Amino acid sequence: MSWRRHLAKLVALFRRPKTVDELQEEILVHLQMEEQENLESGMSPAEARYAALRRFGNVALAEDRSREMWGWNGAETLWQDIRFGLRQLKRSPGFTAVAVLTLALGIGANTAIFQLLDAVRLRSLPVSNPSELTVVRLADLPGRRGSQETVYPALNNPLWEYIRDHQSVFSEVLAWSPTNLGITEGDHERLLQGLWVSGDFFKVLGVQPVIGRLFSSADDQPGCGASGVVVSYAFWQSQLAGDPHAIGRTLTIGRHPVPIVGVTHAGFTGPEIGHSFDVAVPICSQSAYWRDGNWLNSSTDWWLTVMGRLKTGDSLSMANAGLKSLSSAAFEASLRQDYPTENIRDYLHFELAADSAPGGVSWLRDTYENPLWMLLGLAAVVLLIACANLANLMLARGSARVQELALRLSLGASQRRLIWQLLWESFPLILLGGASGLLLAGALGNALVALLSRQGDSLFVNLHPDWRVLGFTALLAALTTLLFGLVPAFRATSLAPSEAMNAGSPRIGGMHESNGLRRMLVVTQVALSLVLVTGAVLFAQSLANLRTVDTGFREDSIVIAWLDLSQLRLPVARRLIARKETLDLVRYVPGVEAASEVGIVPLSGGSIDNRVWAEGEDRQSGSDSNFNWIGEGYFKTLGTPFLAGRDFSEQDSPNSPKVAIVNEEFARRLGKGVNPVGWRIRREATPHEPETVFEIVGMVKNSKYRDLREKFAPIVYLCVSQDQNPNPIEQVVIQSSLPLPILTSRIKQAVVGKRLDIDVEFRVFKTQIQESLLPERLMAVLSGFFGILAALLTAVGLYGVISFLVARRTHEIGIRMALGAGKRQVLSSVLRETLMLTVLGIGTGLPITFIVARLIASMLFGIKPSDPVALLFAAFALCGVSLAAAYIPARRAAKVDPMVALRYE
């Protein structure tokens, strides 16, 4: 066939109906003309008609054949092919099971990861016109003081109020902040996922109530108190049993009875992707729910994520220009007394900026997007390996049918028709594989989300498959069919007629070539497996490195307790004493070996850093250091040894000279010799304290502060009992070898038994550290899964090819054995051949592996992407798997009985 005909067919494929109609009309005209001629030559009408038809031959056949020329088989032949495919699947259940399982795993893995990506990255927020949404932030952060209360870009409340009342940049604006709110049910209290929302929040997002009403700006007025709560559909269903009369029922939130005013519709899961919400309360009620700390009139609490809706036709840059010109007045109006004097100039020069945010904000997305794309790439490689396997199976099947196909070719069937038939025959297979893949993806997706959840933080990802996921799966299935179906189909139908005639025995004619192709497929599989197995080894080693990295403190048998004293409504001056009393209650619990207060639990993600310099020197000579608040016994509890000086003690009080303990790294940077004890350091002013001088009284060994990957950073530990602004929430690290449930119930008994108003919560330190490695764990677990899958698929492929090889060479092996070759020799010759294929594959895979390894270099820790040990391990593992796969057919070869083999021939 010439390229012209191929092209013409391609064109015809898209305009088939017209061609078919025209053909019918054309043949009809032909018959009429012939009939007319026959009439003119004197035949009777009936005779004329009959003669015309006879002369034409089989009309339907002519139509069919003509259509076939255009590459159209007609729906009927299509159905025939599919039915034939189904019959074949039924006839060989073993083949069907292997093929469907392979497809399901390949497609399922890809779909599962894509599904997650779709949910966190590709989908927009489930609100009206999400493409108009933007997030407003500070253009530049230097000079910003205070506490960042959320992981998202945030403004303070006075700033938000100014923007709300004065902006004309956006058509509408809203603000929100995530929070935890305690709900009391009977005498049991637990935390809900809450949202502070601005009055217009639901209106701007276009969220409708299912029952009741949602907030309006009237609900968000200064001094509103704990006036009402909107609950989510999920909360309404699960906690209120979908009660149609839920409106007006009260929930006890933060010990206030709060009436439910409305329920949001089912599709709305909150402004953040990765978390849903249970209840929403107006921003104005913050001071009512939280008795300590009024954030409403503070310019140092950065907690509200402000979002604006672009006006129709406005671009993001227009909005940014508008925000810029609004900035100066906004910052001037929102400056409050609590802002540190030396940074007021910075504050007044801040500028606002907006970023497009059709997908809302998502910590989950920021953390996992890159790993997920990477995993999707690895999953695609698995699918490629699966395709190679299926192609191999199909080739084996094609060679069984070579005579049938050859006969049909010589009888005039076109190659194209046969290829179509073979492709359609694989249709039921791919349908089965695709459907099971989709099912598997659902389960895998949920498992993935579970893998990413942390203690006390339930993840919410909407994995309901949408058109993108279904389209992705369909596309994957179609591509897979083409990949594994087309090559064998071409191969099986491209025999020259002479070869076809001679293809009397499956051992002769054309088989040699197909065997070469099968070897090539296996070599490709080994090459791709090398990439995946090496990747898996690298990620696993990287995770192991992080797990065993020297943190500088004890991780085992440490529990973190949160003791919330805020319900006691203590004045600032009384808080330290109350905290000390509570700590003592914990310390006296039998089984508690040590306990101490801590401001920031290491590796929890929290951090304080400030500029610090040696007393008497210039501020410019200083540098930034990490800070932490700790109590007496902290280092003993966590097992961090002192190198010099002393621990904090009872004598360090608010009225005594301010003291500090530093770590080695800080001492090194200070540059005052090996022992910094006795030196005085000056810390810049913070939102809560002026510039302060501390005397170094001790030095401890280095430990990790913010995350495991960091190098040891300078840390200055301050004494909690000298804190000017003690928090009513006390965080305590406890060392105890008691089982967790016993320990927690004893502590609860000791603390709550004494002071009913104290809430206690626990977390396991080690678990929390491991959770900080979730992205690494995700990569290690999934790449390991893919690596094993790849090796298994390759083993199956190798097994198939070697079995085929042995079967084909039974005769030759028989002769060799008759001539004196031993079983061992036969066995080793088969294994040698296998090893050769594997080594060839490893050689081919090496350059690809290097490239892929370089791509993942940034995600590795403590191991080079080109680590020779990892490569060697992967190569040896593959060799081992190959030999194991080839052993069964090799044994079969060694068991060949020369007499039988020769007689067979």
Partner 1 sequence: MDRIELVFGSLDMLILRTLRWGATHGHGIAKSIERMSEDTLKVEHGSLYPALQRLQQEGWITAEWGVSKNNQRAKYYRLTALGRRQLVSETSRWERFVRAVTGVLRPAESEESQ
Which residues of the shown chain bind partner 1 in the complex (CB under 8 A)? Answer: 2, 4-5, 8-9, 22-23, 25-27, 29-30, 32-34, 36-37, 55-59, 61-63, 65-66, 68-70, 411-412
Q: Nearest approach, Cβ of 401 to partner 1 (angstroms)?
A: 21
Smaller CB separation from partner 1, 25 or 185: 25
Q: Nearest approach, Cβ of 51 to partner 1 (angstroms)?
A: 11
Do 719 and 525 touch, CB atoms closer than 8 A? no
Tally of CB atoms within 10 A around 18? 9
Q: Nearest approach, Cβ of 2 to partner 1 (angstroms)?
A: 6
Q: Nearest approach, Cβ of 419 to partner 1 (angstroms)?
A: 17
Smaller CB separation from partner 1, 21 or 140: 21
Q: Which two tokens mark 880?
A: 């081992």
Let me know how long the chain is.
905
* E-strand stretches of 351-422: 352-356
Q: What is the DSSP letter of 691?
A: S
Q: Nearest approach, Cβ of 812 to partner 1 (angstroms)?
A: 38
Q: Which of 476, 502, 532, 523 is nearest to 403 (CA)?
A: 502
Q: Nearest approach, Cβ of 17 to partner 1 (angstroms)?
A: 15
Tally of CB atoms within 10 A around 555? 18
Smaller CB separation from partner 1, 28 or 122: 28
**CB half-sphere exposure, 899, CA atoms < 13 A:** 0
Q: What is the DSSP string of 318-338?
A: HHHHHHHHHHHHHHHHH--TT
What angle, 0 to 180 degrees and rounded to 10, lies between the N-to-C axes of helices 415-425 and 74-91?
50
Tally of CB atoms within 10 A around 799? 19
Q: Which two tokens mark 901?
A: 């083999």
Q: Which two tokens mark 409?
A: 């070719």
Q: Nearest approach, Cβ of 463 to partner 1 (angstroms)?
A: 48
Smaller CB separation from partner 1, 5 or 706: 5
Q: Nearest approach, Cβ of 489 to partner 1 (angstroms)?
A: 21
Residue 660: which H helix or E strand, with range? strand 659-663
Smaller CB separation from partner 1, 59 or 483: 59
Q: Nearest approach, Cβ of 62 to partner 1 (angstroms)?
A: 3
Q: What amino acid is encoded at 432 in this protein?
A: L
Smaller CB separation from partner 1, 70 or 95: 70
What angle, 0 to 180 degrees and rounded to 10, lies between the N-to-C axes of helices 402-410 and 363-400?
70
Do 386 and 794 touch, CB atoms closer than 8 A? no
Q: Nearest approach, Cβ of 421 to partner 1 (angstroms)?
A: 17
Smaller CB separation from partner 1, 60 or 241: 60
Q: Nearest approach, Cβ of 406 to partner 1 (angstroms)?
A: 15
Residues 491, 400: Cα–Cα separation, whole Å: 12
Give 3-state DSSP helix, strand, coil % of the chain, rounded to 5: 55, 15, 30
Q: Which residues pair with 644 in a beta bridge?
A: 699
Smaller CB separation from partner 1, 53 or 614: 53
Q: Which two tokens mark 154?
A: 């945030």
Smaller CB separation from partner 1, 35 or 867: 35
Smaller CB separation from partner 1, 186 or 412: 412
Smaller CB separation from partner 1, 31 or 486: 31
Q: Nearest approach, Cβ of 16 to partner 1 (angstroms)?
A: 12
Smaller CB separation from partner 1, 13 or 577: 13
Q: Which of 813, 710, 796, 725 is nearest to 147 (CA)?
A: 725
Q: What is the DSSP letter of 133?
A: E
Rounded-to-10 torsion of CA 689, 694, 696, 699 = 10
Q: Which of 315, 226, 329 is nearest to 279 (CA)?
A: 226
Residues 575, 584: Cα–Cα separation, whole Å: 14
- Which residue is it, tokens 């159905």? 79
Q: Which of 545, 547, 548, 532 is nearest to 864 (CA)?
A: 545
Residues 242, 247: Cα–Cα separation, whole Å: 11
Q: Nearest approach, Cβ of 3 to partner 1 (angstroms)?
A: 10
Smaller CB separation from partner 1, 22 or 550: 22
Q: Which of 573, 587, 553 is nearest to 732 (CA)?
A: 587
